[in-house]
């Protein structure tokens, strides 16, 4: 039989892809650009207000906008071209923070009135990269900032010979020299806490994934698969999307187990599980129900594409080279059906299991479809 898998099927994501934690992680890339742009915007707003008050020159505003455009374009090209992947720290937080602080130092040199903005926004810039910048790098950056600020103060005094300005800038310099190392020391504790929480989160995630998996076969276990089926049934009821279920049972597995022993039987199960998972589509949920019986859930899938996938699995199992584990041919009988809106999970499973037993009784090594018949169509019309 020739099966057509080109029917329009709703594009869907796998259960893992629907994980809200991973969805959040995918969204943070755009969010980080938004946060960085917002912080830059706050600094620009401050400079514009100072310009309106007449304490900052218009040329300084133009230089600031030019620097922002230059560095944003530079980092956009770097990330777009994926050049950042060549570096150990792929988010380039240290270069980004360095460019931001360098731009603010240039503005400080052009207009001393901007010093009042430099100090708080310098701390904000360092805080922006504190999770990715090591304490050693941050301390070196702090030393460079203090030195650069001292040079700017010296150049201002050399240009204008203004003792009052020099005194004010020395006060700013002293504030930076005292506060920056203390701030970096405190952010180091936050970094440590972040690393501890990250490791704990990964351990919890691994434990959760292990709890969902069959330790022997690597596929989903019965509890997870049944829960996934319940979840997909609810989604089908809510959204009106199709849902299919298949029951797969390895033929003559008891004889295989008797011939090869439990270790050989386990190897057959592992190989079958691997073959099946290699030929299911993204979003299909494959799990072991018990013994040599497996369930395959097809979310948002109509009957014909589900049938096609089952036939691919059956054909692959039949043609696989099994000589290393068994001299007899290994095959699988599969029953598949489509969910009828309103029926229970037990009724859906019962119909699919019946189709699988029909495949067994019909000679095994085949896929049998149990056509979904709505309850209304099953009613026998009354005689007139």
Report CA dihedral (191, 195, 200, 205) to the nearest 10 degrees: 120
Q: Is 292 a catalytic residue?
A: yes
| Six token digits for residue 14 | 């796998």
Check if the beta carbon of residue 241 is closer than 8 Å to that of residue 8: no
| Phi/psi of residue 205, nearest 5 degrees | -65, -40
| Six token digits for residue 321 | 């080279």
> Both ends of the chain: CA-CA distance in Å?
43
H-helix or E-strand spanning residue 66: helix 58-80
* Tokens 């509890």, located at residue: 223
| Six token digits for residue 345 | 């999970």
| Six token digits for residue 50 | 């100072």
Give the three-class secondary structure for 332: strand
Q: CA quadruple 18, 20, 25, 29: dihedral positive or negative?
A: positive
Which of 292, 300, 311, 370 is the catalytic position? Answer: 292
**Per-position b or e across 115-154, b if 16+ CB within 10 A of its CB:** bebbbebbbebbebbbebbeeebbeebbeebbebbeebbe
Check if the beta carbon of residue 340 is closer than 8 Å to that of residue 374: yes
How far apart are alpha carbons 207 and 321 in whole angstroms? Answer: 35
* Tokens 């029909």, located at residue: 358
How far apart are alpha carbons 221 and 15 in whole angstroms? Answer: 14
Residues with a catalytic annotation lie at 292
């Amino acid at each position: 039989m020739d099966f057509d898998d080109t029917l329009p099927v709703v594009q869907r994501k796998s259960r893992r892809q629907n994980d809200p934690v991973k969805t959040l992680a995918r969204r943070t890339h755009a969010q980080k650009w938004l946060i960085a742009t917002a912080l830059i915007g706050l600094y620009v707003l401050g400079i514009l207000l100072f310009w309106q008050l007449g304490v900052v020159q218009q040329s300084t505003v133009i230089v600031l906008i030019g620097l922002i455009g230059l560095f944003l374009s530079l980092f956009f090209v770097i990330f777009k071209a994926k050049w950042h992947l060549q570096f150990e720290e792929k988010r380039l937080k240290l270069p980004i923070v360095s460019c931001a602080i360098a731009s603010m130092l240039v503005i400080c040199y052009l207009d001393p009135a901007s010093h009042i903005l430099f100090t708080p926004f310098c701390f904000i810039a360092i805080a922006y990269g504190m999770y990715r910048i090591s304490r050693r790098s941050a301390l070196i950056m702090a030393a460079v900032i203090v030195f650069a600020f001292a040079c700017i103060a010296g150049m201002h005094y050399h240009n204008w010979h203004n003792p009052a300005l020099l005194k004010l800038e020395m006060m700013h310099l002293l504030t930076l020299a005292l506060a920056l190392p203390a701030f970096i020391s405190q952010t180091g504790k936050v970094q440590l806490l972040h690393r501890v929480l990250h490791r704990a989160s990964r351990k919890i995630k691994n434990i959760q994934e292990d709890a969902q998996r069959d330790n022997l076969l690597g596929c989903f276990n019965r509890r997870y698969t049944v829960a996934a089926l319940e979840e997909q049934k609810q989604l089908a009821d809510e959204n009106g999307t199709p849902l299919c279920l298949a029951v797969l049972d390895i033929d003559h597995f008891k004889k295989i187990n008797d011939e090869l022993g439990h270790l050989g039987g386990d190897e057959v199960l592992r190989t079958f599980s691997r073959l099946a998972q290699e030929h299911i589509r993204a979003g299909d949920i494959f799990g072991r129900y018990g013994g040599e019986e497996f369930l395959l859930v097809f979310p948002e899938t109509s009957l014909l594409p589900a049938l096609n996938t089952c036939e691919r699995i059956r054909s692959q199992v039949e043609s696989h080279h099994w000589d290393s584990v068994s001299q007899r041919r290994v095959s699988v009988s599969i029953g598949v059906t489509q969910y009828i809106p309103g029926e229970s999970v037990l009724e859906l499973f019962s119909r699919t299991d019946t189709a699988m037993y029909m495949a067994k009784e019909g000679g095994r090594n085949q896929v049998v479809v149990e056509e979904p018949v709505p309850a209304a169509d099953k009613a026998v019309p009354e005689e007139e």
